[in-house]
């Protein structure tokens, strides 16, 4: 079965418009784009070495967050014992 990240997931409650996981994935990706864009914009205007270090830290932090969100395993739910 081929699974693409942009395909909606079937839900027992009916078709879901967007899941929390998809929302977090897109939010972390947009954070990477925004922090990289802001760092590039201010770099073009001129920054001191300390500002360069801060911008690099912000971009690397947002990339780390985006990777962690995608790699972190889902929390396992405990199974309740069935009664006979």
Question: pLDDT digits over 6-50, tens only?
Answer: 666 666 676 667 888 888 899 999 999 999 999 999 999 999 999
Nearest one of 34, 33, 51 to 42, comparing CA atoms:
51
CA distance 11 to 80: 21
Q: pLDDT value at position 72?
A: 82
| 78 vs 35, residue with greater confidence | 35
CA distance 73 to 54: 30
Tell me the whole-structure pTM to 2 decimals. 0.66
């Amino acid at each position: 079965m081929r699974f693409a990240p942009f395909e909606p997931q079937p839900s027992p409650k009916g078709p879901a418009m967007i899941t929390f996981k998809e929302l977090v994935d897109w939010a972390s990706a947009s954070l990477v784009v925004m922090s990289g864009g802001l760092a590039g914009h201010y770099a073009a205007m001129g920054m001191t070495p300390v500002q360069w270090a801060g911008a690099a830290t912000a971009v690397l932090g947002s990339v780390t967050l985006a990777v962690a969100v995608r790699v972190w395993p889902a929390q396992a739910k405990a199974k309740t014992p069935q009664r006979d």
